[in-house]
A and B are shown apart, each in its own frame.
Chain A
Amino acid sequence: MVYTELLNILKEINNTKESKVPEEILEEVLAIVIKNPLDDDRVKCQDQIKMILSQRWRWSENDN
């Protein structure tokens, strides 16, 4: 429930931006954070997000 609510807000904000982030990246980042909310989870969580960004950065090429 919280996931859907937060994702909707993120999508709404994203749609107002000139350079839009692909929605699946928003979905994945949010899902990882919700699953790992504790201080002890930070390193694991950051590694997972960094992995996603390292693999999916090419979307930004269209903007540049």
Chain B
Amino acid sequence: MIIEKISLHNFGPFYGDHEIKFNIAEKGVHIIRGGNGQGKTSLQRAILWSLYGKVLDRSGQPIRPTSLLNLNAFEDDIYEFWVTIFFKHNNEDWSVFRKMSSKIHSDSKYQENMILNVIKDGQIIAGSDSQHEIERLLPYHVSRFYFFDGEMLRDYEALLEQDQDSTKLLKDSIEYVLGVPYLKIAKEDLSFIEKQFEKERNKLIKKMGSSNLQEVAENLQSVMADIEDKEKLITVLKEQKDRLRTEILAKKRELADLSEVRDLAQSRLNLEMEIKDLDARKSQILAKMQIKVSGLYKTLLIPPAQNVISKLEIKSNDVLEAYNKRQELKNIVSRIEKDIAEQKCSLCGAILDQEKVINLEKELKEAYTKLELIGEVPEPPMDLVFYKKRLQGMISEAVQREDFVEINKDLSDIDYKIAVLSNKLTDIENKLSGIDSEMPKKLEIEIQDAVRELGRIDGLEEAAKEDLTELIKTKGEWERIMASIPQKELDELNKKIYCTSSLVQVFDDAISKYRDERRSDIEKTASEIFRQIRSKDEFDHLKINDRYGLSIITEKGKSLDRGEWRSSGEEQLVALALIGALNKCAQIKAPVFMDTPFGRFDTKHGEKVLKFLPKLADQVVLLVTDREFRKGDEAVLEENIRDDFTIKYLGENEGSVIKKTS
């Protein structure tokens, strides 16, 4: 299926008539741009609604018809909307036109008046066959692999771990895409026919009335009932196994989350230590500050102390000067007296004559006079020096303003660090609150128990299968006995049963073989795609399980399932790899419409995915925001872009329009 044109009338944000025509001359990518709320998702919903008459919101709930009508049309009292899709399929031209209209704005009335016209190569397909024809082209439950929301991709993997019904639906959908159901349907139809033949035979035996035949028939009937019971038991055991597997996966995931809790607990310990160290440092600084504060009074005494020191210095200097002067004069007197007495100069050693002696006596007299003038001078007072030094010491010990500024800065730094760490600690404590520290151990025990239980049920299933094989053998023996009883009509029915049973066997074996082959194809293709779109490359391949979930096999051969390794971005990558593989291996060929395709990818992965997308299908339509698809991204897609449209919301009066991107 390749979509050529979509026409809309009063659908969602599209008021009046609108059309989008794709260039489908060649395979490639069609870009449809638009900001949030402009109408991209509505366009995708319009296609699904046109095909199936129903459409779901992001939470999986059906959108009511009254919510599909354009608001302006509603205000104009026009209660009709329609969508037509024109597409090519197997070289045939198809169109699907769906319309809802009513005289009043009511869900039930819209539903009652719904019109569906399907035209194939100019031929109108009549009545209920029209919906069946669409289902044959692309069944509703597999459309999720062709029309999807990139942001919801990871939910696909989550679905595989959910309840039995959604898992089965998804598994069946995947097998449908791969073509397995044709064989399954054929086998079921043949089994049904086989049972019909068997019932006919039993009726015939009863009608014939022979006691011998009656006994054989009763034995056969009883064996058949046992077989049916055994088959039911095997189905129940399989369901129990599925439930257990789901439980184990959920517990493994919980355990993986708890390993994060262990890391958090360690972080809490580290933070508590850091805060304790900072508190100790803060106490030290506060003690230091207290000492400084207690010496603060000294600061007040600095000016008078400096004044006293100056006065003490002056007084001390005066006394010292007088004392030194007197000492000097006393030295001079002593020297002159000695020179006169010895008649010899003590400075140069010359003998003194009368004249020199007279001069010296004169000098001596002057010195005596000066000494008398100076008078008695006491020894220089050492207590003044002592007091001065004490006062100077007191000044040096006095607290300076800068000291307090520095202490305050240190305290603020510590308080800030403590506040930051305390916030982190509170966050961690909130995360850890309510978590049982014994939980990891409990979970491990529960997982072990569940694995053991799985093994026990496996054993029961094996035993039931063995019993079933025996019963089938017994049934075969009774049938041989039955066949040996010569009755023409009975003989004919026995042969029909044999014939049908042989066919059932061939189809049953074919299902296993075909399924295994397809799974292997998907595994290889998905691994290849995953390698292309993932930036990390330390993995060997992806492995698909019987429920179509994927595990990563590491280079060392370790198998990691969803519960153990994936971030949401990686889950999206795995899901995309699987969807890519499904599309490549699919028996159904349809366009891929991808809304917000790069939802959770970082730039690097976004570019890798973008490069891969043209290979996803013959027609890939990307519904992107300007944030997802930036300038230059066109270059990544190289020559693969076939169209570039923009959906723009013009306002309440006009709604949204679709235009070629300028």
Interface string of B177-192 (1 = CB under 8 A from A): 0010111011001101
Given contacts A38-B132, A53-B496, A54-B496, 15 further A-B contacts (CB under 8 A): A2-B182, A9-B517, A10-B506, A10-B507, A13-B506, A17-B502, A21-B499, A29-B186, A30-B182, A30-B186, A46-B189, A49-B186, A49-B190, A50-B196, A57-B496
User: Would you list which residues of chain B between 125 and 146 have a CB under 8 Å from chain A?
Assistant: 128, 132, 135-136
Question: What are 25 A-B contacts with C-beta separation under 8 Å?
Answer: A9-B183, A10-B510, A13-B509, A21-B502, A21-B503, A25-B503, A29-B190, A33-B185, A33-B186, A34-B182, A37-B136, A38-B136, A40-B128, A42-B185, A46-B189, A46-B192, A53-B193, A53-B496, A53-B499, A54-B496, A57-B496, A58-B495, A60-B498, A60-B502, A64-B483
Given contacts A9-B514, A13-B509, contact A42 B189 (CB under 8 A): yes
Considering the chains assembled together, what is the distance between the CA atoms of A21 and B505 in angstroms? 10
Q: Is B492 an interface residue (CB 8 A)?
A: yes
Determine if A6 and B189 form an interchain contact, defined as CB atoms under 8 angstroms apart. no
Considering the chains assembled together, what is the distance between the CA atoms of A60 and B86 in angstroms? 49
Q: Which residues of A contact B502 (CB under 8 A)?
A: 17, 19, 21, 60
Q: Is B173 an interface residue (CB 8 A)?
A: no
Determine if B514 and A6 form an interchain contact, defined as CB atoms under 8 angstroms apart. yes
Size range of the interface on B? 20 to 34
Q: Is B89 an interface residue (CB 8 A)?
A: no
Q: Which residues of A contact B182 (CB under 8 A)?
A: 2, 6, 30, 33-34, 37
Determine if B179 and A6 form an interchain contact, defined as CB atoms under 8 angstroms apart. yes
Looking at B135, B506, B509, B517, the one whose CB has the most chain A CB atoms below 10 A away is B506
Determine if B495 and A33 form an interchain contact, defined as CB atoms under 8 angstroms apart. no
Say which residue of B483, B492, B499, B587 sits within 8 Å of A59 (CB atoms): B499
Q: Taking the nearest CB of chain A, how far is it from the CB of B187, in angstroms?
A: 9
Q: Which residues of A contact B513 (CB under 8 A)?
A: 9, 12-13
Q: Which residues of A contact B132 (CB under 8 A)?
A: 38, 40-41
User: Would you list which residues of chain A between 1 and 48 have a CB under 8 Å from chain B?
Assistant: 1-2, 5-6, 9-10, 12-14, 16-17, 19, 21, 25-26, 29-30, 33-34, 37-38, 40-42, 45-46
Size range of the interface on A? 35 or more
Q: Is B500 an interface residue (CB 8 A)?
A: yes
Q: Which residues of B contact A5 (CB under 8 A)?
A: 179, 587
Residue of A nearest to B178 (CB): A2
Determine if B509 and A61 form an interchain contact, defined as CB atoms under 8 angstroms apart. no
- Chain B residues at the A interface, C-beta cutoff of 8 Å: 128, 132, 135-136, 179, 181-183, 185-186, 189-190, 192-193, 196, 483, 492, 495-496, 498-500, 502-503, 505-507, 509-510, 513-514, 517, 587
Considering the chains assembled together, what is the distance between the CA atoms of A42 and B182 in angstroms? 12
Q: Which residues of B contact A58 (CB under 8 A)?
A: 495
Considering the chains assembled together, what is the distance between the CA atoms of A12 and B510 in angstroms? 9
Q: Which residues of A contact B193 (CB under 8 A)?
A: 46, 49-50, 53
Residue of B nearest to A34 (CB): B182
Considering the chains assembled together, what is the distance between the CA atoms of A42 and B187 in angstroms? 12
Q: Which residues of B contact A10 (CB under 8 A)?
A: 183, 506-507, 510
Q: Taking the nearest CB of chain B, how far is it from the CB of A13, in angstroms?
A: 5
Determine if B506 and A26 form an interchain contact, defined as CB atoms under 8 angstroms apart. yes
Residue of A nearest to B196 (CB): A50
Given contacts A30-B186, A50-B193, contact A61 B503 (CB under 8 A): no
Considering the chains assembled together, what is the distance between the CA atoms of A58 and B192 in angstroms? 20
Determine if A2 and B510 form an interchain contact, defined as CB atoms under 8 angstroms apart. no
State the main secondary structure of chain B at its contact with A.
helix
Q: Taking the nearest CB of chain B, how far is it from the CB of A22, in angstroms?
A: 10
Say which residue of A6, A16, A45, A56 sits within 8 Å of B183 (CB atoms): A6
Q: Taking the nearest CB of chain B, how far is it from the CB of A50, in angstroms?
A: 5
Q: Which residues of B contact A29 (CB under 8 A)?
A: 186, 190, 503, 507
Say which residue of B128, B190, B492, B587 sits within 8 Å of A2 (CB atoms): B587
Residue of B nearest to A14 (CB): B506
Q: Which residues of B contact A54 (CB under 8 A)?
A: 496
Determine if B186 and A57 form an interchain contact, defined as CB atoms under 8 angstroms apart. no
Q: Which residues of A contact B517 (CB under 8 A)?
A: 9
Q: Taking the nearest CB of chain A, how far is it from the CB of B473, in angstroms?
A: 15
Considering the chains assembled together, what is the distance between the CA atoms of A21 and B190 in angstroms? 13
Considering the chains assembled together, what is the distance between the CA atoms of A45 and B587 in angstroms? 21
Residue of B nearest to A42 (CB): B189
Say which residue of A19, A40, A45 sits within 8 Å of B189 (CB atoms): A45
Say which residue of B190, B196, B510 sits within 8 Å of A6 (CB atoms): B510
Q: Which residues of B contact A64 (CB under 8 A)?
A: 483, 495, 498
Determine if B492 and A57 form an interchain contact, defined as CB atoms under 8 angstroms apart. yes
Q: Taking the nearest CB of chain A, how far is it from the CB of B629, in angstroms?
A: 34
Looking at B196, B492, B502, B517, the one whose CB has the most chain A CB atoms below 10 A away is B502
Considering the chains assembled together, what is the distance between the CA atoms of A12 and B329 in angstroms? 142
Looking at A12, A13, A49, the one whose CB has the most chain B CB atoms below 10 A away is A13
Determine if A57 and B136 form an interchain contact, defined as CB atoms under 8 angstroms apart. no
Q: Which residues of B contact A50 (CB under 8 A)?
A: 193, 196
Residue of A nearest to B492 (CB): A57
Q: Which residues of A contact B587 (CB under 8 A)?
A: 1-2, 5
Residue of A nearest to B512 (CB): A13
Considering the chains assembled together, what is the distance between the CA atoms of A30 and B492 in angstroms? 24
Looking at B136, B495, B499, the one whose CB has the most chain A CB atoms below 10 A away is B499
Residue of A nearest to B189 (CB): A46
Closest 4 CB pairs of A and B: A2-B587, A33-B186, A60-B499, A57-B496
Residue of A nearest to B136 (CB): A37
Given contacts A19-B502, A38-B132, A64-B498, contact A13 B510 (CB under 8 A): yes
Determine if B136 and A21 form an interchain contact, defined as CB atoms under 8 angstroms apart. no
Considering the chains assembled together, what is the distance between the CA atoms of A64 and B179 in angstroms? 34
Considering the chains assembled together, what is the distance between the CA atoms of A33 and B511 in angstroms? 14
Q: Which residues of B contact A17 (CB under 8 A)?
A: 502, 505-506
Determine if A57 and B495 form an interchain contact, defined as CB atoms under 8 angstroms apart. yes
Considering the chains assembled together, what is the distance between the CA atoms of A57 and B587 in angstroms? 32
Q: Taking the nearest CB of chain B, how far is it from the CB of A34, in angstroms?
A: 5
Residue of B nearest to A25 (CB): B503
Given contacts A1-B587, A6-B514, A26-B506, contact A57 B189 (CB under 8 A): no
Considering the chains assembled together, what is the distance between the CA atoms of A29 and B502 in angstroms? 13
Considering the chains assembled together, what is the distance between the CA atoms of A49 and B193 in angstroms? 8
Q: Taking the nearest CB of chain A, how far is it from the CB of B625, in angstroms?
A: 38
Q: Taking the nearest CB of chain A, how far is it from the CB of B272, in angstroms?
A: 64
Considering the chains assembled together, what is the distance between the CA atoms of A53 and B505 in angstroms? 15
Q: Which residues of B contact A2 (CB under 8 A)?
A: 179, 182, 587
Q: Taking the nearest CB of chain B, how far is it from the CB of A15, in angstroms?
A: 10
Say which residue of A9, A25, A61 sits within 8 Å of B495 (CB atoms): A61
Considering the chains assembled together, what is the distance between the CA atoms of A4 and B507 in angstroms? 15
